[in-house]
Amino acid sequence: MAPHHFALIDEDVGEYDTNFKMNPPLRSRSDREALIAGLADGSVDCIATDHAPHAFNEKNQEFDRAPFGITGLETALGLAISILHVRNKVGLPRIVELLSAAPARVMSLEGRGTLARGAHADVTVFDPAKKWTYHAAHSRSKSKNSPFDGWQLQGKVVATVVAGRIVSS
């Protein structure tokens, strides 16, 4: 499941803003609540961003002609903590599992998604209390197609370690 499916509903599309055009499309409030319950109780295995960047000109056209997809990597953790943890009381250990160990298990990625001895040293360090505002214009992605521009989020990545080396902080 992608974060935009537990964060948004079909009504959020509004006046056919193409930043809300994704596949599968957004569903009803009751569908979103069922997805959140599934994430909390283990019925849903993992969270994946479905990061689908598009050039401005691709998304800046009629809704029916615009491609499906949004950027999702930079907002995934903040949405998970803000919506799942803060608003819906899903525990932080479950959120970490949904974003790391569970996807690695589903994809059969040996030594990934764990801090076990001998595992790959790929780690995201985050502050679950840090509040911040997402601005698409400041995104590190080459694309800016996000429905979360201007959203206040909680839970911020403070460092990323890949193969034992700090690559961002």
> What's the Cα-to-Cα distance from 81 to each of 2, 57, 135, 163, rounded to whole Å?
14, 32, 18, 25
End-to-end CA distance of the chain: 27
**In terms of DSSP bridges, do strands 123-133 and 152-162 run parallel, antiparallel, or are they unpaired?**
antiparallel
Catalytic annotation, pick one of 50, 122, 127, 149: 50
Active site residue 31: no
Helix 29-41 and helix 92-99: axis angle, to 10°? 90
3-state secondary structure of 21: coil
CA distance 48 to 110: 18
Please count the helices (runs of H) and the strands (runs of E) in the chain: 6, 3
Q: At residue 86, what is the residue type? A: V
| Catalytic site positions | 50
